[in-house]
Amino acid sequence: MQIGERIQKLRKKRGLTQAALAERLFVTPQAVSQWERDITIPDTDKLADIAAALHTTVNKLTDGEAVGQDWTIADALFSPEHMYSRIAVTSELEGLRETSAALRFMKKAHEGQYRKPSLFSDTKVPYITHPLMMACHAHALGIREDKILATILLHDVCEDCGVAPEDLPFSEEVREAVRLLSFQVMPSETRADAKKRYYAAIAENRIARIVKILDRCNNISTMASSFTQKKLVAYVDETETYVMPLLEQAKYAIPEYADAFYLLKYHMRSVLESIKAIATR
């Protein structure tokens, strides 16, 4: 059996059309059609993405072994409705006024927005799942300061929803942290220079540092289902270059959360090493 026939067999097993598979792989339906008819062969650096989308491995895809496991890949780890209720109740019980207001503001700002689609499903996951998961994660780790939780909920509203930091109806500390967390490239700088400036500024702000660490922890925990292999590698490199040093230094800069940082470091390092091991096979 040729590789094209295997791709077709696996695609049909997953219930995908050629167009649906093409969308997940960022190629045209014509490219998928040509692969399946063995007119062309997928580029080597595309094989891992094809295998992931078809729930198999590169070896099985190219060597014709048995098809991949019939595992179900979750679209979201937790229910956004349940997480929203948890934060709403928690903020009321603990008197977290900015968190309560940020919860409502965030929900309205991100209305109609969805997370990057999974390679394994067409289900649309509401964008608010991301900040809600971060807030629940932080609270479970014992990070329960009102301004930190509010910043977590708001951290993407400026960058993704067109809200100016100065227009946020929250405290100056929250506005400043959200401003620092909103990445942008200035006209006179490269993207690489912008990243250096961005992370250096975050390192000087206690709230922004904590939120960025939690943000990256959440993102690397779910990236395998939606990132191409090339994007995975780039994200691992950026995390190790900029975010892990932020985390390593946080236990000295913010010693009151040293235990939380230890758990975050354990989780993030485990995910990164697993991704690196899989990506280099």
* Contact call for residues 87 and 128 (beta carbons, < 8 A): no
Span 86-100, average pLDDT: 97
> Given a cut of 90, is residue 159 above it in pLDDT?
yes
Distance between CA atoms of residues 207 and 173, nearest Å:
8
- Name which residue leads in pLDDT, 31 or 123: 31
Q: What CATH number does the domain located at 3-63 have?
A: 1.10.260.40
Span 99-109, average pLDDT: 97
Looking at every residue in the chain, the average pLDDT score rounds to 91
* Contact call for residues 36 and 5 (beta carbons, < 8 A): yes
Report which of 126, 173, 171, 133 is spatially closest to residue 153, judged by C-alpha positions: 133
Span 98-109, average pLDDT: 98
Which of these ranges, 68-77, 87-96, 147-156, 179-188, has the smallest mean pLDDT? 68-77
Question: What is the token pair recorded at 128?
Answer: 């608010």
Q: What's the pLDDT tens digit per position in 38-88?
A: 889 888 878 888 888 888 878 778 775 544 456 667 777 889 999 999 999
> Given a cut of 50, is residue 119 above it in pLDDT?
yes
> Given a cut of 50, is residue 206 above it in pLDDT?
yes
Report which of 80, 172, 85, 93 is spatially closest to residue 126, judged by C-alpha positions: 80
- Name which residue leads in pLDDT, 156 or 44: 156
> Given a cut of 70, is residue 219 above it in pLDDT?
yes
- Name which residue leads in pLDDT, 270 or 24: 270
Q: How does residue 178 score in pLDDT terms, banded at 50, 70 and 90?
A: very high
Question: What is the token pair recorded at 158?
Answer: 């400026």
Which of these ranges, 160-174, 193-207, 225-239, has the smallest mean pLDDT? 225-239
Q: 254 CB contacts (<8 Å, ≥6 apart)? A: 206, 209, 210, 261
- Name which residue leads in pLDDT, 134 or 24: 134
Burial grade of 60 (CB within 10 A; 0-12, 13-18, 19 or more): middle
> Given a cut of 60, is residue 21 above it in pLDDT?
yes
Give pLDDT, residue 173. Answer: 98
Q: Structural domain boundaries of the chain?
A: 3-63, 80-279
> Given a cut of 50, is residue 237 above it in pLDDT?
yes
Q: What's the pLDDT tens digit per position in 252-262?
A: 999 999 999 99
Highest mean pLDDT among 12-26, 59-73, 96-110, 115-129: 96-110
Q: How does residue 281 score in pLDDT terms, banded at 50, 70 and 90?
A: low
* Contact call for residues 49 and 118 (beta carbons, < 8 A): no
Give pLDDT, residue 67. Answer: 46
Q: What CATH number does the domain located at 80-279 have?
A: 1.10.3210.10
> Given a cut of 50, is residue 117 above it in pLDDT?
yes
Could you tell me the CA-to-CA distances from 38 to 1, 32, 33, 117 in Å, in that order? 11, 10, 9, 28
